């Protein structure tokens, strides 16, 4: 099973690359929205948004998914290792949906049809942090805890509320 460790190492590297996109792209969206009047700047940001999603984020997502599935194929006992693995899968699905939502927003911004504010994207940028905390917590501890999950999501909700100041503003 030495090759399992190499697959795991690749999986972690792919996950880190995917997370880099998830952390950075919404920040670019903030700049895109808040400096919309600076056309030259926005054109550069559009290129960055496209490249980080298309050349880093999407391939890293597929590499994360493929290596994760390969790890399960190599060690099917992972599926019977407790509730933590299914909690990880649930959070992974949410993270994947979040990732695809970034492409939706990227296209809206590129087409000039996005109505979201910089504050919205600042708050939205906190989502992958909370989800990564949950995934890493489940994987490292090999356990599922409702308390850990609810506290993490509660802190995320409070942070988002503070950023949005109770409502979305431009």
Distance CA 73, CA 123 (A): 37
Q: Domain range spanning residue 141?
A: 2-164
Report if residue 111 sits inside a domain: yes
Has 88 been labeled as part of a binding site?
Answer: yes
Distance CA 47, CA 26 (A): 14
Judged against a pLDDT cut of 70, whether residue 167 lies above it is answered with: no
Report if residue 169 sits inside a domain: no
Report if residue 10 sits inside a domain: yes
How many domains in the chain? 1
CB 42 within 8 Å of CB 36 = yes
Report if residue 135 sits inside a domain: yes
Has 11 been labeled as part of a binding site?
Answer: yes
Report if residue 170 sits inside a domain: no
Provide the whole-model pTM. 0.89
Q: Report pLDDT digits (tens) over 99-149.
A: 999 999 999 999 999 999 999 999 999 999 999 999 999 999 999 988 889
Distance CA 30, CA 122 (A): 7
Judged against a pLDDT cut of 90, whether residue 168 lies above it is answered with: no
């Amino acid at each position: 099973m030495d090759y399992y460790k190499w697959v795991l190492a690749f999986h972690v590297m792919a996950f880190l690359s995917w997370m880099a996109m998830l952390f950075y792209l919404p920040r670019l969206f903030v700049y895109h929205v808040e400096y919309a009047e600076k056309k030259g700047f926005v054109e550069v940001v559009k290129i960055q948004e496209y490249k980080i999603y298309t050349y880093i984020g999407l391939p890293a997502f597929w590499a994360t998914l493929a290596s994760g599935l390969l790890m399960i194929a190599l060690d099917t006992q992972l599926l019977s290792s407790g509730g933590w693995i299914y909690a990880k899968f649930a959070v992974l699905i949410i993270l994947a949906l979040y990732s695809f939502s970034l492409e939706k927003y990227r296209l809206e911004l590129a087409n000039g049809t996005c109505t979201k504010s910089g504050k919205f994207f600042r708050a939205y940028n906190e989502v992958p942090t909370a989800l990564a905390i949950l995934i890493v917590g489940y994987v490292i501890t090999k356990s599922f805890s409702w308390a850990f999950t609810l506290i993490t999501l509660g802190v995320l909700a409070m942070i988002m509320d503070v950023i949005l100041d109770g409502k979305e503003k431009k």
